[in-house]
Structure 1
Amino acid sequence: MSNKFNANALTEYSRSYARRVATDFYQKHATINGQQILSLTPISQINMFVLSSLSDKWQADAAKFRSPYFDFTDADVQEALQNFMNVVSQHICVRREHLEPLLADAARRTIIMIFDPRAYFDEILRSQPEFTLTAAALKHITRYTKINQFIPAHITQRIKDKPFVYANQAIGYLDEALTQRGHELEHYDKFVALFSEKLPMDVSALLRSHVPDVIPNAPSRSFFDTATESTVPPAPLVAAEVSPSTETVQENATATVAPAIPPQPVPASVEEIKESLKEISAHPAPVDDSDVSGPMFLQGGAGPEPVAPISQPSQLQTGAITQPATSEPAQPTVPAATTPTLNDTIREAAPAEPANSIAETFHRAPIESIARSISLNQKFRFINQLFNGNASEYSQAIQEIDTLNNYGQALDLISDQYASQYIWDMKSDEVSELVEILKRRFS
C-alpha cells in the first residue's frame, strides 16, 4: 500500500464507513441485489469495486464447478455453463455479513485511488499473475475504473495489438500517462465531501502529510458486463505522434504539475538474479548484532557506533579496519564517581574471547523458523525495501519459504518470483541479510 497513508487510520475509516452504509441499507432490507449495489453509495467507484469483488468470486466459483470426470471443453457444455452463470449473475443476493467486508475494502481502495493514483495502479500492475499484464486483465481493470479513467485508457492504447506486456513495461506506461496528463487527475475535494456525507473524513488524520491542492505526478449477457458499461465517452487517447500544439499544452501542464514519479528501473532477468544470489551466498553478509529501533540518520544509516569501553571485547571483525600506527585511540570519559556494575566486574575478571566468536556463533547458528529469526528492525526494512511496503506479501513470502525443503528451492523461489516482481537491488544489504537467514534455515 502507498506509504502516503496512516495505515491504521485508513483501515479504521474504511471499516467505519462500510459499517455506517451497511447499517443504513440493511435497516430496510434483508439482502441487496446488483442494481441496489450500483447505487449503494454516492461514490460510483466504491460501488464498482464491490461489483468487481463479486465478479471475481463469481468467476472463481465457476472454475470450481469444473470436474475431471466430464468434458468441459465441449462447445455445448461451455455454452450451457456460460448461460447458467449469466442467469445466476442476474440474481445477486448478498446479506450484510458478506457485503460489509467487501464494502470496507472497496472504500479503502477508492481512497487510495483518489489520493495516490500512482500507487494504486502500480500495485495493481505488480500483482498481476506471473508479473504479466494481459489484454483481458487490462480490460477488466478498465471496466471497473471510474476515477481517472485516462490512465488505463492510455495503457490500453500503448499495448494495442499486443496480447500482453510485462508489468514493469506497463508501469512505464503508467508513469508516461501521469507525466503527460497529470493535470487531468480528479481533485480529491469533491470525494472528501461525498465521503463526509455519510461519515466525516479528517484528511489530516488519514494521511501522513496533507495532500497539496494539485496532486502531482493518479440473461444473454452477464450482469457484470451490462453494469459496467459507461454512459460517458472514454477520455481521448494520447496520439502516437505529438503535434507542435500538443507539445505546447504539455509544456504548460508541466509548468504546474511535476512528473508523478521517475521511471522505474528495468528489472534484471531471472538468470541475472540467480547469478547474483549465488555470489551473495558465497560471500556472507557482515553480522549485525543490533536491532536498531531509534531514529535513523541521513542515507538510511543508524549513525556512528558509540565507542565501546576498553574492558569490553571488540565487536568489529578482524581486519575490518586499519588501526592507527602512531596515535592512540581516544578513551571515553568516565566520571570518577561511577561505580562499576556487576557485568563490568565479570568482564574484567573473565579472559577476553576472540573477536566475534559469540556473535558469529549466534548469527550463523541453524534456525527452525525464518519468521522468528528476523528481528523487528529487519522485518521493517525487508517490508519497505524488498516488498514495497506490502506487509501481507512479506508475510506470505516468509511463510512459503519456511515450507520449502532446501536452500536451492528457496533461492529459486525468491529469484523467480519476488526479486523479479519487486525489482530487488541485488547489491542491497537487505538481500544479503535475507540470503544469510536462508542459509541458516536450511543448513
Structure 2
Amino acid sequence: MSNKFNSSSLTEYCKSYARKVAGDFFAHHTVISGQELLKLSPVSQVNLFVISTLSEKWRSDAERFRSPYFDFEHPDVRQAMQVFMNTISQHISVRREHLEPLLADATRRTLILIFDPRHYFDEALRNQPDFSLSADAAHQLTRYTQINKFVPAALEERMKGKSVVYVNQALNWLDEILMQRGRELEKPEKYIPLFSEKVLLDPGVLLRKSSYDFAPPQPVSTANKSFFDTEVDDPAVPPTNGLEVVVNGSGADSETTIKPHFLDNSGPSAEPQAPSMQPSQATTHLSEVSTVSPKGDEESSGPVTIGETFYRAPIESISKSISLNQKFMFINQLFNGNAASYNEAIEELNRATSYDQARDLVSYRYAAQYLWDMSSDEVAMLIDILKRRFA
C-alpha cells in the first residue's frame, strides 16, 4: 500500500464510491453490459480498470479450455477459439453484487495512480509473474492506463525488440522515465471534482501527505478486435495549472469556478514533500542538523530539536529512507544522471557492515569515480543517512 494514504480512509472511500456508483445504475437495471461499463463512472480510468479486470478473467477462462488431449495450436482450433472468445467478450453481463468489489478495487487503483503514480507503476511491475515483464504485459499496461499513460507507453517503447525483460530492468527504466519526464505527471486536483460528483473526495482526509506536481493527459487511441481492445477517451476537463477547481451542483446545473489552489507553486509549499518517514525540510535544514567533518565526526550547531532527533533516528535500509526527491537529487548531482549507477552504489552501501566501511566507499571510491565535492550538501546528506543506518 502506498504510504501517502490513510489506509482505512482509502478503503472506506472506495467502498462508498463503489456503493454509490453501483446504486445509481442498478436502481434502473438488473445487469450492466460492457458498453454501459465504459460510461459508468465520471472518472474514465475507474471504468477502464473494471474492464481490465474482466479482460484478465476472460483470458484466464480461455486458458481453462485447454486440454492435453486436444491440439489447441492447430490453426482451425485457434481461429475458432478466437472467434468464440471475442463473441463472449461482446456479451458482458454483470450483476450488482459482482460489480461492487470490482468497482471498489478499480477506484483504489485509480486514486493511487493519481496521487502516487510512482508507487502504482512500481507495484504493477513488481507483481509481474516470475519477476519478468513480457512485451504483451507491457502492452496491456499501456492499453488499460489512461491517467499518466506516457509512463507505460515509454516502458513499452524501451521494450521494442525484446520479448521479455527482468523486472529490475523495467524498474530502472521507470526511474529514468520519471526523472526525465516527471513534470508531465497529471495534476490530482483535476480529478477531485469528477470523483466528488458521486462521493465527496477530500484529499485532507484521504492522504497523509500530498505533493501536487502534475500536468494534462495525452489523447488515447482506440482498437476493436475484441471488446477488451476498447480504450476510453478522457472526458474534457480543463487543465488547472496549479489552480483549484470548485464545482457547485452537478450535471447541467453545475457551476465551475477556478481559484488559486492552496498548494500553488508560487508559494513556499511548492517544495516537494518527502514521504512520511522524513521530516519537513522547512523545519529541519541540513546545515541546522549537523556539520560533518572530513573524519565523519558530527558537530552540533545548536540545541537539538524534536525534528532533528527524528531526522537522526536509526534506519534499517538506506534505500527506503531516501525520499523520491532526495533520490532524484542524488542521481543528478552525485551520479551524473545515471540511475543504474545510483542503485548499484546504494545497494553496496546498504551491504556494508559498519559506518567506517560505508564512509570509505564514499570517500575513496564514489567521490573519486564521480568527482564529488565532499563539502557539498548532497554528500553531507548522504553521509548523514549512513550515520543513521549504522547508528
Question: What is aligned with 2:211?
Answer: 212
Q: 1:222 aligns with which of 200, 215, 226?
A: 226
- What's the CA shift for 1:69? 2.3
- With over 3 angstroms needed to count, the CA separation of the structure-2 counterparts of 1:30 and 1:96, relative to structure 1, is same
Question: What is aligned with 1:96?
Answer: 96
| 1:405-420 alignment runs, 5 A limit | none
Q: Distance in 2 between matches of 1:169 and 1:181?
A: 18
Asked if the contact 2:22–2:96 (Cα under 8 Å) also holds between the matched residues in 1, the reply is yes
Question: What is aligned with 1:189?
Answer: 189
Q: Distance in 1 between matches of 2:234 and 2:23?
A: 30
- With over 3 angstroms needed to count, the CA separation of the structure-2 counterparts of 1:24 and 1:186, relative to structure 1, is same
Report the AA paired with residue 167 of structure 2: A
Q: Distance in 1 between matches of 2:127 and 2:92?
A: 28
- With over 3 angstroms needed to count, the CA separation of the structure-2 counterparts of 1:260 and 1:59, relative to structure 1, is farther
- With over 3 angstroms needed to count, the CA separation of the structure-2 counterparts of 1:222 and 1:191, relative to structure 1, is same
Deviation string 1:170-213 (CA, Å, 9 cap, x unpaired) is 1121121211111111111111111011000121111112x234
| 1:248-397 alignment runs, 5 A limit | 300-301=313-314
Aligned length: 252
Question: What is aligned with 1:198?
Answer: 198
If the length of structure 1 is used for normalisation, what is the TM-score? 0.52
- What's the CA shift for 1:300? 5.0
The structure showing larger relative contact order (alpha-carbon pairs under 8 Å, at least 6 residues apart) is 1
Question: What is aligned with 1:13?
Answer: 13
| 1:122-137 alignment runs, 5 A limit | 122-137=122-137
Asked if the contact 1:114–1:188 (Cα under 8 Å) also holds between the matched residues in 2, the reply is yes
- What's the CA shift for 1:157? 2.0
Question: What is aligned with 2:242?
Answer: none
Question: What is aligned with 1:48?
Answer: 48
Asked if the contact 1:179–1:260 (Cα under 8 Å) also holds between the matched residues in 2, the reply is no
Question: What is aligned with 1:162?
Answer: 162
Question: What is aligned with 2:171?
Answer: 171
Asked if the contact 1:34–1:90 (Cα under 8 Å) also holds between the matched residues in 2, the reply is yes
Q: Distance in 2 between matches of 1:214 and 1:158?
A: 25
- With over 3 angstroms needed to count, the CA separation of the structure-2 counterparts of 1:200 and 1:25, relative to structure 1, is same
Q: Distance in 2 between matches of 1:297 and 1:100?
A: 42
Q: Distance in 1 between matches of 2:69 and 2:190?
A: 54
- With over 3 angstroms needed to count, the CA separation of the structure-2 counterparts of 1:231 and 1:79, relative to structure 1, is farther
Unaligned 5+ runs, structure 1: 233-255, 262-295, 303-380, 386-422, 429-443
SS in 1 for 2:191: helix
SS in 2 for 1:198: coil
- With over 3 angstroms needed to count, the CA separation of the structure-2 counterparts of 1:215 and 1:223, relative to structure 1, is closer
Asked if the contact 1:118–1:260 (Cα under 8 Å) also holds between the matched residues in 2, the reply is no
Bigger share in strand? 2
Asked if the contact 1:86–1:223 (Cα under 8 Å) also holds between the matched residues in 2, the reply is yes
- What's the CA shift for 1:68? 2.4
- What's the CA shift for 1:61? 1.0
- With over 3 angstroms needed to count, the CA separation of the structure-2 counterparts of 1:68 and 1:185, relative to structure 1, is same
Q: Distance in 2 between matches of 1:44 and 1:57?
A: 20
If the length of structure 2 is used for normalisation, what is the TM-score? 0.59
- What's the CA shift for 1:132? 1.0
Asked if the contact 1:179–1:258 (Cα under 8 Å) also holds between the matched residues in 2, the reply is no
- What's the CA shift for 1:228? 2.0
Q: Distance in 1 between matches of 2:68 and 2:75?
A: 16
SS in 2 for 1:113: helix
Larger Rg: 1
Question: What is aligned with 1:114?
Answer: 114
Asked if the contact 2:48–2:232 (Cα under 8 Å) also holds between the matched residues in 1, the reply is no
Q: Distance in 2 between matches of 1:89 and 1:215?
A: 35
| 1:65-84 alignment runs, 5 A limit | 65-84=65-84
- What's the CA shift for 1:22? 0.3
Q: Distance in 2 between matches of 1:169 and 1:14?
A: 33
- With over 3 angstroms needed to count, the CA separation of the structure-2 counterparts of 1:230 and 1:163, relative to structure 1, is farther
Asked if the contact 1:90–1:223 (Cα under 8 Å) also holds between the matched residues in 2, the reply is yes
Deviation string 1:384-433 (CA, Å, 9 cap, x unpaired) is 97xxxxxxxxxxxxxxxxxxxxxxxxxxxxxxxxxxxxx996779xxxxx
Report the AA paired with residue 153 of structure 1: A
User: Does 1:62 pair with 2:65?
Assistant: no
Unaligned 5+ runs, structure 2: 218-223, 236-269, 276-308, 321-346, 354-391
Asked if the contact 2:89–2:226 (Cα under 8 Å) also holds between the matched residues in 1, the reply is yes
- What's the CA shift for 1:258? 6.9
Asked if the contact 2:186–2:213 (Cα under 8 Å) also holds between the matched residues in 1, the reply is no
- With over 3 angstroms needed to count, the CA separation of the structure-2 counterparts of 1:17 and 1:156, relative to structure 1, is same
Report the AA paired with residue 65 of structure 1: F
Q: Distance in 2 between matches of 1:144 and 1:45?
A: 8
SS in 2 for 1:68: coil
Q: Distance in 2 between matches of 1:145 and 1:257?
A: 28
Deviation string 1:78-126 (CA, Å, 9 cap, x unpaired) is 1111111110110000000111100000000000000000000000011
- With over 3 angstroms needed to count, the CA separation of the structure-2 counterparts of 1:231 and 1:75, relative to structure 1, is farther
User: Does 1:22 pair with 2:25?
Assistant: no
Asked if the contact 1:195–1:201 (Cα under 8 Å) also holds between the matched residues in 2, the reply is yes
- With over 3 angstroms needed to count, the CA separation of the structure-2 counterparts of 1:159 and 1:297, relative to structure 1, is same
Report the AA paired with residue 211 of structure 2: P
Deviation string 1:44-66 (CA, Å, 9 cap, x unpaired) is 10000000000001111111122
